[in-house]
């Protein structure tokens, strides 16, 4: 056996992503999604895998071929599996019988079909589809116009980084009969409807929608009960915030949901709310719990990770959920009074969870800094790991040397405690000095933590120490902490990061203070730009999908006009404040060689932000290079075309190699 080596950028093609576990209703088996990359086509392929919970056999692959298969959902009787596949060229719902045989296509809709939700009696499936105003699911597919036509824009929310320019379609809800294929459309009009769950008695669907007529200025979503027979909507929230993820208790007495009232705009902690069906009372169960509900971990490897949901107990006296705290996401339980306890803890990232109520066991998807992510069988009643179910990358990683990060805590600005992690380079030798790279996350309201980070491991393999920190603005510490960056971009958040660099230089003698690098994307790109305009201590920097000018960002980003007001806390009329917080204003101070990486179709932080920065630096004779990635958006580093993801990593490696 050859000696272990560090991981390389091209190894992305060898790695397998495991996600979205789903327990069978009897708790005896499970399915999940495995995503790989086809080198020949340079495309992602996602397939369903199956195994019995107690089996020592390798999981069985259930779908094959090109395309993506995802969103598996067991029928309540456990006899059939519904899933979504793009094999026909458009996402449609398919059915697999547990008795065997080929998958059967259930929907054939022009707008596609996603998000399958079974009826309690297993005879129907509700789903989301996309339709233009006035169009129905029974209309024939419109012929595509071959001529190039102008795009008429009348709304501010006319583009999205993930979907491009709005095509005039709205998300609607429909039902299909599993045996006959008969369809029924339940919603219509010029609003988006999000499907969550089916009531235990089969009468209602829990759905979400923003029914305000002008959604340019609305950032809410209410929860409604949609009566299937009459199609009548009954609101169970009252327009005070954003609510989602509704889950009925098994006896139909309660609906638990995720929600926040946006007191701190997009920095507000997500909480759990409880609606009592009989009394129609809505209350916030976690109002006094200063922890955000959900998975807010930053990652750059996993594919197809769905939003976490709430899982009720069989006795209807409480539920399980995932929450984010101090660099970890773990499993928690709450009773109906709001008494919360952590039922599965550890320094790791729980990014998927499926619970079997009768046995209080779970299949959990868990990642760690030196574990890409796999499935585990867990007992929730005694907080015990029963067994590891998958080891998707075990054979490959047995030949790879990964760096185990060390957790650090230091005093940031104003004496606030700040958490971070330091990775030693692969092949570390005591007494030797190594360059350090500071990594800064995006959001800014996300969290670095105990999960596998492919980019960090690649940099460690290149001989760099890697420092990553959760400055104020990060989730996982407190509502005050996550809100503190708003109105203070480039202030104490910058100081937190610099205090972190000072801390490791003072406490780790293997770091060469004359060879420091810095990089980050989105907010991390903004902060990289800000850093090189305010200090010359870094000898090289790489800014990715960044913000450089808040004045122009206001009008060109898909979220610009409201995100700017939420985060910088001022309007376009206040040019002075917007310019004060813009890295472009300090470009004449930049002495650090700066590599600028940006995607052509990034609508979140449009490429003009990079263009301005590049031209300003070149005009002043600064050392810089601008790399534009064709046809990619803001998600290049996480889910972009594999070849370009590898190219991006190589540009970062080579820039630091040249300058550090």
Q: DSSP string covering 271-340, please?
A: EEEEEETTTTEEEETTTT--S-BS--B--SS--S-PPP--EE-TTSSEEEEEEEETTEEEEEEEETT--E
Q: Rounded mean pLDDT of the chain? A: 96
d(CA 282, CA 241): 13
Residues 491, 407 contacting (CB under 8 angstroms): no
* Mean pLDDT across 25-50: 96
Residue 502 belongs to some domain of the structure: yes
Average pLDDT, integer, range 43-52? 96
Whether the pLDDT of residue 160 is over 50: the answer is yes
Q: Tell me if 629 sits within 8 A of 156, measured CB to CB.
A: no
d(CA 624, CA 286): 48
Which 3 state secondary structure label does DSSP give 589? Answer: helix
- Residue 453 lies in domain: 409-659
Whether residue 546 lies in the annotated active site = no
- The answer to whether residue 102 sits within a structural domain is no
pLDDT of residue 1: 40
Could you say which of 119, 199, 403, 522 is catalytic? Answer: 522
Cα–Cα dist 449/203, whole Å: 42
Q: By three-state DSSP, how is residue 248 classified?
A: strand
pLDDT at 140: 84
The enclosing H or E element of 459 equals: helix 454-461
Residue 217's contacts (CB-CB under 8 Å, 6 or more residues apart) are none
The CATH number of the domain where 578 resides is what?
Answer: 3.40.50.1820
The alpha-carbon radius of gyration of the chain (Å, integer) is 25
Beta bridge partners of residue 233, listed in sequence order: 226
595 strand-pairing partners: 542, 625
Q: In this structure, is residue 595 part of a structural domain?
A: yes
> What would the two tokens of residue 428 be?
């570390």
Q: Into how many domains does the chain fold?
A: 1
Q: Do residues 44 and 68 make contact, with C-beta atoms less than 8 angstroms apart? A: yes
Q: φ and ψ at 523, to 5 degrees?
A: -60, -35
> Looking at residue 129, what DSSP letter applies?
E
pLDDT in tens, 393-431: 999 999 999 999 999 999 999 999 999 999 999 999 999
Going by C-alpha positions, the residue among 645, 636, 650, 297 that lies closest to residue 459 is 650
Interstrand relation of 465-470 and 511-521 (parallel, antiparallel or unpaired): unpaired
In a domain, 106, yes or no: no
Look at residue 572 and tell me if it is in a domain: yes
Question: Is 499 assigned a catalytic role?
Answer: no
pLDDT at 144: 74
Query: Edge-to-edge, what's the strand order for the sheet holding 29-38?
Result: 17-23, 29-38, 43-52, 60-61
- Nearest residue to 292 (alpha-carbon basis) of 346, 254, 257, 329: 329
pLDDT (0 to 100) of residue 174: 98
Looking at residue 358, its pLDDT comes to 93
Measured from the Cβ of residue 99, the count of other Cβ atoms closer than 10 Å reads 7
Distances (CA, A) of 285 to 140, 220, 272, 337: 46, 20, 6, 7
Q: From 35, 50, 15, select the one nearest 86 (Cα to Cα).
A: 35
pLDDT computed for residue 2 by the predictor: 55
Assess if residue 631 is contained within a domain: yes
Cβ atoms 11, 25 nearer than 8 A: no
Q: Which residues contact 566 (CB under 8 A, 6 or more apart)?
A: 265, 266, 267, 486
- In 3-state terms, what secondary structure has residue 264? coil
pLDDT band at 53; cut points 50, 70, 90: confident
Select which of 348, 634, 637, 659 is catalytic. Answer: 634
In the chain, what is the greatest distance between 2 CA atoms, to the nearest angstrom? 75
Q: Determine the angle formed by the axes of helices 492-507 and 523-532, rounding to 10 degrees.
A: 70
Is residue 343 within 8 Å of residue 385, measured between CB atoms? no
Cα gap 526→524, rounded to integer Å:
5
Residue 548 lies in a domain: yes
For residue 612, tell me if it sits in a domain: yes
Write out pLDDT tens, residues 321-358: 999 999 999 999 999 999 999 999 999 999 999 999 99
Compute the distance between CA of residue 257 and CA of residue 259 in angstroms, rounded to an integer: 6
Cα–Cα distance measured from residue 584 to residue 619, given in angstroms and rounded to the nearest whole number: 13
What pLDDT digit, counting tens, does each position of 565-602 carry?
A: 999 999 999 999 999 999 999 999 999 999 999 999 99
Cα dist from 586 to 28, 532, 534, 589, whole Å: 61, 9, 7, 6
């Amino acid at each position: 056996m050859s000696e272990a080596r560090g991981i390389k950028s091209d190894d992305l093609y060898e790695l397998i992503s495991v996600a979205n576990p789903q327990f069978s209703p009897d708790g005896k088996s499970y399915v999940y999604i495995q995503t790989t990359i086809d080198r020949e086509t340079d495309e992602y392929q996602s397939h369903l895998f199956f195994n019995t919970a107690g089996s020592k056999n390798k999981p069985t692959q259930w779908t094959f071929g090109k395309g993506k298969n995802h969103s598996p959902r067991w029928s309540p009787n456990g006899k059939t599996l519904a899933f979504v596949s793009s094999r026909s060229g458009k996402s449609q719902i398919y059915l697999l019988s547990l008795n065997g045989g080929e998958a059967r296509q259930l929907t054939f809709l022009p707008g596609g079909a996603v998000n399958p939700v079974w009826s309690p009696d297993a005879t129907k499936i509700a789903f989301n589809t996309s339709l233009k105003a006035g169009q129905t699911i029974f209309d024939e597919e419109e012929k595509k116009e071959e001529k190039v036509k102008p795009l008429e824009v009348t709304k501010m929310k006319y583009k999205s980084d993930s979907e491009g320019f709005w095509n005039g379609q709205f998300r609607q809800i429909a039902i299909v009969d599993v045996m006959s294929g008969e369809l029924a459309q339940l919603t219509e009009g010029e609003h988006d409807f999000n499907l969550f769950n089916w009531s235990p008695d089969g009468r209602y669907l829990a759905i979400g929608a923003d029914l305000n007529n002008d959604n340019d200025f609305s950032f809410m979503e209410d929860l409604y009960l949609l009566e299937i027979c009459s199609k009548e909507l009954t609101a169970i929230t009252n327009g005070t915030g954003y609510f989602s993820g509704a889950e009925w208790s098994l006896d139909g007495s309660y609906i638990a949901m995720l929600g926040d009232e946006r007191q701190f705009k997009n920095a507000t902690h997500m909480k759990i709310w409880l609606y009592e069906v009989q009394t129609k009372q809505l209350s916030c169960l976690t109002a006094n719990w200063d922890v955000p509900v959900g998975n807010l971990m930053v990652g750059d490897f996993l594919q197809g990770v769905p939003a976490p949901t709430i899982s009720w107990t069989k006795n209807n006296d409480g539920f399980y959920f995932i929450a984010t705290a101090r660099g970890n996401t773990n499993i928690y339980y709450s009773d109906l009074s709001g008494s919360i306890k952590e039922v599965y803890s550890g320094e790791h990232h729980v990014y998927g969870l499926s619970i079997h109520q009768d046995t209080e066991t779970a299949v959990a998807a868990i990642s760690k800094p030196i574990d890409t992510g796999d499935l585990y069988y867990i007992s929730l009643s005694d907080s015990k790991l029963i067994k590891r179910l998958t080891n998707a990358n075990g054979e490959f990683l047995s030949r790879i040397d990964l760096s185990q990060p060390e957790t650090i805590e230091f005093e940031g600005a104003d004496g606030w405690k700040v958490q971070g992690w330091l990775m030693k380079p692969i092949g570390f030798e005591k007494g030797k000095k190594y360059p350090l790279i500071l990594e800064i996350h995006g959001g800014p309201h996300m969290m670095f933590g105990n999960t596998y980070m492919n980019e960090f491991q690649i940099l460690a393999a290149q001989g760099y120490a890697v420092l990553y920190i959760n400055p104020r603005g990060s989730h996982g510490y407190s509502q005050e902490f996550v809100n503190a960056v708003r109105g203070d971009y480039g202030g104490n958040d910058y100081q937190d990061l610099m205090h972190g660099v000072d801390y490791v230089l003072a406490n780790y003698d293997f770091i060469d203070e004359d060879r420091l690098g810095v990089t980050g994307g989105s907010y991390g790109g903004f902060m990289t730009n800000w850093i090189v305009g305010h200090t010359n201590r870094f000898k090289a920097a790489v800014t990715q999908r960044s913000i450089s000018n808040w004045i122009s960002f206001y009008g060109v980003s898909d979220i610009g006009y409201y995100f700017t007001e939420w985060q910088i806390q001022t309007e376009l009329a206040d040019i002075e404040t917007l310019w004060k917080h813009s890295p472009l204003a300090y470009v004449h101070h930049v002495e650090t060689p700066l590599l600028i990486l940006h995607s052509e179709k990034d609508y979140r932080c449009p490429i003009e932000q990079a263009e301005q920065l590049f031209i300003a630096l070149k005009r002043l004779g600064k050392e810089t290079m601008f790399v534009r990635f064709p046809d990619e958006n803001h998600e290049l580093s996480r889910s972009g075309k594999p070849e370009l993801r590898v190219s991006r990593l190589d540009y970062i490696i080579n820039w630091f190699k040249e300058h550090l």
